[in-house]
Amino acid sequence: MTLKKFTLLFALLLTLGMLLAACGGGADEEDTTNEDNTGGDDATEEAGDFSAAMVTDIGGVDDKSFNQSAWEGLTAWGEENGLSKGNGIDYAQSNDKADYVPNLTRLVRDEYDLIFGIGFELKEDLQTIADQYEDTNFALVDDTVDAPNAVSILFKEHQGSFLVGVAAAHKTKTNKLGFVGGVDSPLINKFESGFIAGAKSVNPDIEIEIEYAESFGDAAKGKSIASYMYDSGVDVIYHASGGTGNGVFNQAKDIKQNDPDREIWVIGVDRDQHEEGAIGDHNVTLTSMVKRVDIAVQDVTNFAMNGEFPGGETLEFGLEEDGISVATTNSEAMTEEIINEVQQWEEKIRNGEIDVPQTREETEAFVDAL
């Protein structure tokens, strides 16, 4: 080897050595930094460039039910990742169906990575926006959407409604129950169907009055329906009506205020509505059919943040997935005997002994077979 070639080779080896040393030093510094930081800081760094938002239906984010549960889930996810409203997470309030498209479009233009549509009423508009903005991920709660950049989130509401129907049948003294629905639709029919099946499984002769307010945001209509039902002898009302259900609670509390000895109850929906039933030393909330929209929102947001967004898929949450449960907060109303009964029926659903109906036709057949 000539001196010139040797010198050139030596220079190349020296340069390579310096580069490797620099890379090695950078790795050591990074490892030291990670050891000094907590896992929460790492999570914040991972979520730093990821954002999520939601569009409410007309019930509003403070409906004490469905939308509120979804926002609580997104807020909890934000807290885990060092984000807050306006800084990585947000919601757009809808006061009318005409607000859905503008709200969805605004959040897309604000460059949120994942946008939730809360409620089946957003289905058509979310489908349209998802088709237009293929680079944004979307999620629809309570209905299905057909797009590779969107996931559908469903719940087995009929299962939980069956169980609160069992509780109501054991609690009633008049053998007359009521159901107040928001919009008469396949989704809310699942609540109605499960409730009827559960109550009549305990007592086939029990009477159940069914009324729909045709709105998820009309508390006055909910109060009016509840007034009529309670006056007719109903002593337990199950509502599946979002903000309309606030009126059901208000009417029950008014009656309890005027007649503290009267046993009158409301069954809440979507989240534990125990606080909504508080009236002095009493509480008119018997139980609630808890639908973990908050957990579903957190799960899907984490999937998306971690690059595992289940676009084009349908996720369903029921008893088996801990997505549905029955609240036992009011221990004075939900006695140990009632809780035990509910648990026994829950086990029958879990092991497949009972196939809870989801439609009026299925409910009619179920009841006829009792």
pLDDT at residue number 48:
62
Structure tokens at 193: 């169907």
User: For residue range 158-211, what is the model confidence (pLDDT) as tens digits?
Assistant: 999 999 999 999 999 999 999 999 999 999 999 999 999 999 999 999 999 999
Supply 237's token pair. Answer: 């009302």
Q: Provide φ and ψ at 151, rounded to 5°.
A: -115, 145
| Mean pLDDT, residues 69-85 taken together | 96
Domain locations in the chain? 49-155+294-317, 157-290+335-368
Taking residues 242-267, what's their average pLDDT? 96
Average pLDDT, rounded, for the chain: 89
Q: What angle do CA 293, 299, 305 make, to 5 degrees?
A: 135
Provide the 10 A C-beta neighbour count for residue 353: 9
Q: Please state the rounded mean pLDDT for residues 69-73.
A: 95
pLDDT at 12 over 50: no
Cβ-defined contacts of 337-346 (< 8 Å, 24+): 337/170, 338/167, 338/170, 338/171, 341/166, 341/167, 341/170, 341/202, 342/163, 342/166, 342/167, 345/162, 345/163, 345/166, 345/198, 345/201, 346/163, 346/319
Name the strands in the sheet holding 236-240, side by side, starting at the edge strand that comes first in the sequence.
207-212, 176-181, 236-240, 265-270, 285-291, 324-326
Q: Is 111 helix (H, G, I), strand (E, B) or coil?
A: coil
Q: What angle do CA 122, 128, 129 make, to 5 degrees?
A: 85
Percentage of residues of the chain with pLDDT beyond 70? 87
pLDDT in tens, 126-171: 999 999 999 999 999 999 999 999 999 999 999 999 999 999 999 9
Q: What confidence category does residue 2 fall into, taking pLDDT thresholds of 50, 70 and 90?
A: very low
Q: How confident is the model at residue 257 (pLDDT cuts 50, 70, 90)?
A: very high
Work out the average pLDDT over 260-275: 95
Cα–Cα distance, 328 to 318 (Å, whole number) = 18
> Is-contact 271 64, C-beta < 8 A?
yes
CATH of 49-155+294-317, one of 3.60.70.12, 3.40.50.2300, 3.30.1160.10, 3.30.1360.200: 3.40.50.2300
pLDDT at 44: 39
**CATH topology (fold) of 157-290+335-368:** Rossmann fold (3.40.50)
DSSP classification of residue 272: -
Tell me the pLDDT band of 24, cut-offs 50, 70 and 90: very low
- Which pLDDT score, from 0 to 100, does residue 40 have? 37
Phi and psi of 240, rounded to 5°?
A: -135, 70
Cβ neighbors of 272 (< 8 A, separation 6 or more) are 288, 290, 327, 329
| Residue 45 predicted with pLDDT over 90 | no
Specify the residue for token string 């009158």. Answer: 264
β pairing state of 324-326 and 285-291: antiparallel
Q: Are residues 169 and 206 in contact, defined by beta-carbon separation less than 8 angstroms?
A: yes
Is there a common fold for 49-155+294-317 and 157-290+335-368?
Answer: yes
Give the Cα separation of 71 and 61 in Å (integer). 7
Instruction: Report which residue type is found at 200.
Output: K
**Tens digit of pLDDT for each residue in 292-344?**
999 999 999 999 999 999 999 999 999 998 999 999 999 999 999 999 999 99
Contact (CB, 8 A) for 279 and 256: yes
Mean pLDDT over 58-73 rounds to: 88
Q: In terms of Cα–Cα distance, which of 78, 79, 55 is closest to 67? A: 55
Residue bearing the bigger pLDDT, 45 or 124: 124
Q: Rounded distance, CA 101 to CA 247, Å?
A: 29
pLDDT of residue 47: 53
Confidence of residue 63 (pLDDT cuts 50, 70, 90): confident
Phi, psi of 207 (to 5 degrees): -100, 140
H helix or E strand, kind and range, residue 241:
none
The pairing of beta strand 207-212 with beta strand 150-155: unpaired
The band of 64, judged by pLDDT with boundaries at 50, 70 and 90, is confident
Task: Please tell me the least confidently modeled range out of 8-22, 58-72, 96-110, 228-242.
Answer: 8-22
In this prediction, residue 18 carries a pLDDT of 41
Confidence grade of residue 65 (pLDDT, cut at 50, 70, 90): confident
